[in-house]
Amino acid sequence: QVQLVESGGGLVQPGGSLMLSCTASGFTLDGYNIGWFRQAPGKEREGISCISSESGRTYYPDSVKGRFYTSRDNAKNTAYLQMNNLKPEDTAVYFCSTECQWGLARYGAPGYWGQGTQVTVSS
């Protein structure tokens, strides 16, 4: 089966950290850009990172820049999102995808999507 599965979400206090993982099965991530997105209730889905397939260069919007960092390990067919200094407004369902938002540009559509993992930031 072709799947992307996110893991690592949960409840964390403001100022805390979490690392999310995205593991592919049924295909290899090697040739794909990997994007992370999030969607909070009442808000549009927001692209929060992209890591390129070739160079490993990354993009982050201002909402998470300096706090979130994405990486990949092609040998493990896995991508990661390290989230630091979490804030209540970071609460959302987080998705990984072979689609990527890089500034105003979108790459890889239509791509594969995971089912999402819930991140809740609350004291």
Q: What's the burial of 69, exposed, middle or buried (CB within 10 Å: 0-12/13-18/19+)?
A: middle
In tens digits, what is the pLDDT along the chain, a chain of 123 residues? Answer: 899 999 999 999 999 999 999 999 999 999 999 999 999 999 999 999 999 998 789 999 999 999 999 999 999 999 999 999 999 999 999 999 999 999 999 999 999 999 999 999 999
Distances from the Cα of 122 to the Cα of 12, 86, 88, 119, angstroms: 6, 9, 6, 10
Q: Give the full edge-to-edge strand order of the sheet including 58-59.
A: 10-12, 117-121, 92-97, 34-39, 46-51, 58-59
pLDDT at 13: 98
pLDDT at 37: 98
In 3D, which of 60, 66, 59 has the Cα closest to residue 85? Answer: 66
